């Protein structure tokens, strides 16, 4: 006599997904169906647990939505959440790739600003040096002044 597992394998050619232990099918393969959580008679996509139970000859499965609910309970993400995070990650990577060019542009701008600032400081220094020279020349003692000529109207 064939076991339920080998019977299921002989009925369908290929499961949708296979792992080492579980098979994902679009619907249970053999009747009666035994959903270990709900005992649902029309479950849709199911994970066949690939088990044989005494006194039971049929599919033992868990509905995909129950697996998803279990996964959410332990913190796993749904497919739409993963896709959204992938898109966000791609956008962030694109922005990161723009950073070296922006950094170079900012560095060039800072270099130009620094050069202009230093040039203006040098200009102010030159102006101050010139004004100090003029002041030091004006602070000299004047030589004996010659008397001013007296004109006819200076009486």
The pLDDT of residue 24: 78
pLDDT category of residue 107 using cuts at 50, 70 and 90: very high
Give the tens place of pLDDT for each residue, 62-94: 888 888 888 889 999 988 999 999 999 999 999
Indicate whether 2 pLDDT > 50. Answer: no
Indicate whether 50 pLDDT > 90. Answer: no
The pLDDT of residue 82: 94
The pLDDT of residue 104: 94
Indicate whether 23 pLDDT > 70. Answer: yes
Residue pair 53/61 in contact (Cβ under 8 Å)? The answer is no
Residue pair 46/24 in contact (Cβ under 8 Å)? The answer is yes
Distance CA 36, CA 22 (A): 14
- β-strand partners of 61: 35, 48
Distance CA 120, CA 14 (A): 80
The mean pLDDT value of the chain amounts to: 75
Distance CA 39, CA 63 (A): 10
| Rg for the chain, CA atoms, rounded | 46
The pLDDT of residue 35: 64
3-state secondary structure at position 66 = helix
Q: Does the pTM of the predicted model rise above 0.75? A: no
What residue has token string 């076991």?
3
Indicate whether 153 pLDDT > 70. Answer: no
């Amino acid at each position: 006599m064939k076991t339920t597992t080998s019977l299921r394998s002989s009925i369908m050619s290929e499961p949708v997904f296979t792992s080492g232990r579980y098979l994902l099918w679009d619907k249970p393969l053999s009747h009666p169906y035994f959903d270990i959580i709900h005992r649902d008679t029309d479950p849709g996509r199911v994970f066949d647990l690939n088990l044989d139970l005494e006194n039971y000859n049929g599919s033992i499965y868990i509905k995909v939505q129950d697996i998803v609910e279990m996964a959410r309970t332990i913190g796993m993400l749904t497919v739409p959440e993963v896709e959204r995070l992938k898109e966000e990650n791609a956008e962030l990577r694109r922005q990161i790739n723009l950073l070296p060019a922006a950094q170079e542009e900012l560095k060039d701008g800072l270099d130009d600003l620094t050069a202009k600032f230093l040039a203006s400081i040098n200009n102010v220094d030159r102006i101050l040096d010139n004004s100090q020279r003029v002041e030091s020349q004006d602070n000299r003692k004047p030589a004996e002044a010659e008397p001013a000529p007296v004109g006819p109207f200076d009486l």
